[in-house]
Amino acid sequence: MKLYTADKARITGGFWGEKQALLQKVTAKSIYDRFAETGRFNALICRKEEGMPQPHIFWDSDTAKWIEGTACLLMREKSPELEALCDGLIETIAANQMEDGYFNSYYQAIEIENRFTQYINHELYCLGHMIEAAVAYDQATGKKQLLEVCEKYIALVDRVFRVEHSAAFDTPGHEEIELALFKLYQHTGDEKYMTLMRYFVDTRGTSPRDITYEALGRSDYSQTHKPVREQDTVEGHCVRALYLYSAMADQAAHDQDEALANACRKLYRNCVDKRMYITGAVGSTYLGESFTVDYDLGNHEAYAETCASLALALFCRRMLQLDVKGEYMDTAELALYNGALSGMSLSGDAFFYENPLSYSPTRASIANRYTKARAHSAIGQRVKVFECSCCPPNVLRVYGAIQEFVFGEGEDDLYVHMMADAYAHTKYGILQQRTDYPRQGETTIYPPEGTYTLHIRVPAWAEEPVLCVNGLRHDFTIQDGYIHLTGEWDADATVELRFSMPVRFIYANPRVSADAGKVCVARGPVIYCLEGADNGDNLSDIRLRTDGSARVVTDGKFGLPIITLPGSRSVPGDYPLYAVSPVPRSAVDLIFIPFYAWANRGENEMDVWVRTET
Which residues are designated catalytic?
289, 390
Give the binding range for Zn ion (CB under 5 A) out of 265-273, 307-315, 513-521, 585-593.
307-315
Tell me if the bond preceding 172 is cis, omega within 30° of 0: no
Q: Which of residues 187-226 bind Zn ion (CB under 5 A)?
A: none
Q: Which is nearer to Zn ion, 390 or 593 (CB)?
A: 390
Signed CA dihedral, 517, 523, 529, 534: sign only? negative
Stretch that binds Zn ion, among 207-215, 269-277, 299-307, 396-404 (CB under 5 A): 299-307
Taking the C-alpha atoms of residue 424 and residue 75, their distance in angstroms, rounded to an integer, is 13
> What is the DSSP annotation of 425-450?
EETTEEEEEEE-TTTSSEEEEEPPSE
Q: Say which amino acid occupies 156.
A: L
Total number of residues that touch Zn ion (CB under 5 A): 3
Closest CA to 146 of 218, 64, 211, 202: 64
Is residue 391 close enough to count as binding Zn ion by CB under 5 A? yes
Report the Cα 248 to chain-centroid distance in Å: 17
Q: Is 313 in the site for Zn ion (CB under 5 A)?
A: no
Taking CB positions, which residue lies at the least distance from Zn ion?
307
Closest distance between Zn ion and the C-beta of residue 210, in Å? 23
Q: Shortest distance, CB of residue 394 to Zn ion, whole angstroms?
A: 6
Q: Please, what is the minimum distance in Å from the beta carbon of residue 311 to Zn ion?
A: 9
From the CB of residue 53, how many other CB atoms can be counted at a distance below 10 Å? 12
Q: How far is the CB of 448 from Zn ion (least distance, A)?
A: 38
Return the number of the residue (263 or 391) whose C-beta is nearest Zn ion.
Answer: 391
* DSSP for 261-311, written as a single string: HHHHHHHHHHHHHHSB-TTS-B-SBTGGGB--STT---STT---BHHHHHH
Min CB(392)–Zn ion separation in Å: 8
**Under a CB-based contact definition with an 8 Å cutoff, are residues 245 and 313 in contact?**
no
CB 31 within 8 A of CB 390: no
Burial of 352 (0-12, 13-18, 19+ CB in 10 A): buried
Query: Judged by CB, which is closer to Zn ion: 32, or 609?
Result: 32
Residue pair 391/398 in contact (Cβ under 8 Å)? The answer is no
Selected from 89, 390, 402, 590, the binder of Zn ion by CB under 5 A is: 390
Under the binding rule (CB under 5 A), the answer on residue 307 touching Zn ion is: yes
Cis amide linkage into residue 356, ω under 30° from 0: no
Q: Is 131 in the site for Zn ion (CB under 5 A)?
A: no
Backbone angles phi, psi at 124, to 5 degrees: -75, -30
Give the pairing of strands 422-426 and 429-435.
antiparallel
* CB of 559 vs Zn ion, minimal distance in Å: 23
Nearer to Zn ion, 64 or 591 (CB): 64
* CB closer to Zn ion out of 194 and 391: 391
* Segment near Zn ion (CB under 5 A); pick from 45-53, 330-338, 385-393, 534-542: 385-393
Which amino acid is residue 267, in one-letter code? L
Instruction: Output DSSP code: residue 350.
Output: -
Question: Which of 83-91, 365-373, 384-392, 588-596 is the region at the interface with Zn ion (rule: CB under 5 A)?
Answer: 384-392
Q: Is 398 in the site for Zn ion (CB under 5 A)?
A: no
Helix (H, G, I), strand (E, B) or coil at 507: coil
Of 245 and 592, CB closest to Zn ion = 245
Does 310 bind Zn ion (CB under 5 A)? Our answer is no
| Site for Zn ion contains 242 (CB under 5 A) | no
Q: Which stretch binds Zn ion (CB under 5 A): 16-24, 290-298, 382-390, 455-463?
A: 382-390
Nearer to Zn ion, 291 or 452 (CB): 291
Smallest separation, CB 59 to Zn ion (Å): 14
Applying the rule CB under 5 A, the residues between 568 and 607 that interact with Zn ion are: none
Among candidate residues 137, 158, 33, the one with its CA nearest the CA of residue 90: 137
Beta-ladder partners of 530: 592, 607
312 belongs to the binding site for Zn ion (CB under 5 A): no
Smallest distance, Zn ion to C-beta of residue 65, A = 10
Residue 307 vs 350, nearer CB to Zn ion: 307
Please give the residue ranges that form the binding site for Zn ion (CB under 5 A): 307, 390-391
